[in-house]
Amino acid sequence: MIVATLALLLALPPLIWAAAMFDRIGTGRGAIVMGPIRNGAALMLRPNTETEAPDRLNRLLAPGWYLALALVGLSVVPLAPGIVATDLSTGLVLWGACEALTVVVVFLHGWSPNAPLPLIGAYRYVAIGLPAMLLSMFVLIGAALPAESLSVVEVVEAQRGLWNVVRQPLGLPLFMALGLAITLRGPFDYADGAELAGGTSAEESGPALALWQFARASMLVAFSAMAAAAFLGGHLGPVLPGPVWLLLKTLAVMAATVAAGRFFARMPPARMLTFLWVVLLPLSFVSLALVGVEVLE
């Protein structure tokens, strides 16, 4: 347990660095490896800005909560057989709770500066974040069906024969929609989008902004590790040791998520809300029904 936690804490910073590098690829400004570190260092040396009558406590804590949720979500993912930081029999539910709390934290981040653009971003995010969460619940329950358990360890073990991504082809793409939403990315970035000049982080500067980006990247890592465990067989794989497989799969999901965020355009929020409830949610029902039939055969 302690070994797994230490391994996660050690692996997280390099993975966050990797996430920042993925974000830089294709922007045409070079310095892919060192750029994120340098920019982060420069931000750390800038001052935090105060706003008029902000909610200081929540403003100070929001990035920390976001980072904490990423870490808790990451802690239910098994690194190798028998090595997991949080061996909870309801790990999938704990992951769901982290998703729900992410919506709360992003809302607080936009609420606390007492400024119009962050406030609008916060409210829009709640509208999209809540139904996006339903999606992930259905596809994760689909992953739990063959495992007959809500424990992520069991979900991975149940994929020894065949990975869930093959058995449930709709699962991973739908789960990725949630990944984009909780990491504030591309088509689901209703909190920090360009049409709000940075939205919930429009009023943040210096270390507060750097930490928010750090937490956002760690949430990407947590989401990718979870997707790898639920759909790509986690640490399972031939020849290489388990943790290496998990690392490779996590990196692959990270890259795919970043690419998806760049490829799909962001709709106005009302349109996205209808799309979520009327197209994506029924699709997740279909996915679950297909899994149900497949498991019983």
Considering only residues 112 through 131, tell me which ones interact with other proteins, judged by CB under 8 A. Answer: 113-117, 119-120, 123-124, 126-127, 130-131
Q: Among 3, 25, 46, 82, which residue interacts with other proteins (rule: CB under 8 A)?
A: 46
Give me the least distance between CB of 169 and other proteins, in Å please: 19
Here the tokens at position 285 are 């029902």
- CA 266 vs. chain centroid, Å, equals 18
Q: Among 87, 237, 248, 256, which residue interacts with other proteins (rule: CB under 8 A)?
A: 87
Distance CA 232, CA 250 (A): 9
Q: Is 169 in the site for other proteins (CB under 8 A)?
A: no
Q: Among 44, 162, 166, 240, which residue interacts with other proteins (rule: CB under 8 A)?
A: 44
Torsion angle of alpha carbons 192, 195, 196, 200, nearest 10°? -10
Size of the site for other proteins (CB under 8 A): 124
Q: Is 139 in the site for other proteins (CB under 8 A)?
A: no
Distance CA 231, CA 227 (A): 6
Q: Is 144 in the site for other proteins (CB under 8 A)?
A: yes
Q: Among 33, 195, 241, 244, which residue interacts with other proteins (rule: CB under 8 A)?
A: 195
Considering only residues 222 through 261, tell me which ones interact with other proteins, judged by CB under 8 A. Answer: 261
For the chain, how far is it from start to end, CA to CA, in angstroms?
37
Q: Is 296 in the site for other proteins (CB under 8 A)?
A: yes
Give me the least distance between CB of 239 and other proteins, in Å please: 30
Cβ partners under 8 Å of residue 25, min gap 6: 32
Look at residues 86, 64, 263, 257 and name the one whose alpha carbon lies nearest to residue 175.
Answer: 257
Distance CA 190, CA 198 (A): 10
Nearer to other proteins, 195 or 240 (CB): 195
Nearer to other proteins, 110 or 234 (CB): 110
Look at residues 266, 258, 230 and name the one whose alpha carbon lies nearest to residue 246.
Answer: 230
Q: Among 45, 160, 161, 239, which residue interacts with other proteins (rule: CB under 8 A)?
A: 45
Other CB atoms closer than 10 Å to residue 100's CB: what's the count? 14
**Contact, 229 vs 164, CB < 8 A?**
no
Q: Is 17 in the site for other proteins (CB under 8 A)?
A: no
Q: Which stretch binds other proteins (CB under 8 A): 14-22, 97-105, 229-237, 247-255?
A: 97-105
Considering only residues 258 through 287, tell me which ones interact with other proteins, judged by CB under 8 A. Answer: 261-271, 273-274, 276-278, 281-282, 285
Q: Among 80, 203, 226, 233, which residue interacts with other proteins (rule: CB under 8 A)?
A: 203
Burial of 259 per CB tally in 10 Å (0-12, 13-18, 19+): middle
